[in-house]
Copies of this chain bind each other. A is one copy, B any other.
Amino acid sequence: MTAQPPAASRPRGRERARLNRETVLAEALALADADGLDGLGMRPLSQRLGVVPMALYKHVANKEDLLDGMIDLVWAEVEMPDAERGWRTSMGDRSRSLRQALKRHPWAIGLMEARLRPGFANLAQHNAMMGCLRGSGFSFRTTVHVTSTLDAFVYGFALQERSLPFDTAEQSGDVAEQKLQDAPPEAAAAFPHLLEVVRELGAAGYDYDTEFETGLALVLDAVERLRPEWRAELPSP
């Protein structure tokens, strides 16, 4: 599974470029993307870099420091909001961009807000988000509510997208059916509404993109009503 060629075939000595923090972080990101957080070991990582495990500790303090660096690489991939483009399109695009980044790096979902030492991209992103909303007329308190709720939606959606055991709309119906069959036999008959889910998802499926856009529009519509100025800006009927 994770079998690797022996040391002889790995680059080493003059063949291998000098290790630095940047290359360690980049390789760690690739390893986590491929094998998940469980696969991200200091030993497998060192092997990919053609080096002995302890060599990594010259470039990262420990695994926590490694994760700090990786998470800031993910933050750097997220588009920054900008009040100039209007808060709604700007915050919407940022949310889509965050979801896509979390899709590329599913192992990062629970870690994005957990950093005690946030990196530069992390700080820049949060600063831009606050700036976008404050600059669009939201009060400080409302800005906090909006970021908290919108981020909760994006993180939670990404979590569901990662953990639901199907990837495509076609699979969703099959999985739902399988789940109900594997469940305790008395269950299937007792849960009529799950039978409807099986039937409907079997026919039309569950599409993540559609669900995300629907939920995002729902939240942004609700946010629109929080802004004190919103009535004045609606086109008069």
A155 close to B159 (CB less than 8 A) = yes
Which of A8-16, A53-61, A182-190 contacts its partner? Answer: A182-190
Q: Please pick, from B131, B140, B206, the residue contacting A200 in the complex, using a CB distance under 8 A.
A: B140
A151 close to B145 (CB less than 8 A) = no
The distance in angstroms between the C-alpha atoms of A20 and B51, with both chains bound, is: 47
Chain B CB within 8 A of A130 CB: yes
Q: Please pick, from B123, B128, B226, the residue contacting A183 in the complex, using a CB distance under 8 A.
A: B123
Contacts of A134 in B (CB 8 A): 193, 196
Chain B CB within 8 A of A235 CB: no
Chain B CB within 8 A of A1 CB: no
Copies of chain A in the complex: 2
The distance in angstroms between the C-alpha atoms of A153 and B215, with both chains bound, is: 10
The distance in angstroms between the C-alpha atoms of A225 and B111, with both chains bound, is: 34
A183 close to B117 (CB less than 8 A) = yes
Contacts of A184 in B (CB 8 A): 120
The distance in angstroms between the C-alpha atoms of A226 and B97, with both chains bound, is: 26
Interface of A is mostly: helix
A160 close to B152 (CB less than 8 A) = yes
Chain A, interface residues (CB within 8 Å), range: 35 or more
Chain B CB within 8 A of A222 CB: yes
Known: A160-B155, A193-B131. A148 touches B215 (CB 8 A): yes
B191 close to A124 (CB less than 8 A) = yes
A110 close to B156 (CB less than 8 A) = no
The distance in angstroms between the C-alpha atoms of A183 and B148, with both chains bound, is: 22
Chain B CB within 8 A of A197 CB: yes
The distance in angstroms between the C-alpha atoms of A222 and B218, with both chains bound, is: 6
A149 close to B179 (CB less than 8 A) = no
Chain B CB within 8 A of A89 CB: no
Q: From A155, which residue of chain B is reached at the shortest CB distance?
A: B156
Known: A163-B111, A183-B120, A196-B130. A219 touches B156 (CB 8 A): no
Q: List 5 A-B contacts (CB under 8 A).
A: A140-B196, A145-B214, A149-B218, A152-B156, A218-B223
- Residues of A that sit less than 8 Å from B by CB: 109-114, 116-120, 123-124, 126-128, 130-131, 134, 140, 144-145, 148-149, 151-157, 159-160, 162-165, 179-180, 182-184, 187, 190-194, 196-197, 200, 206, 211, 214-215, 218-219, 221-223, 225-226
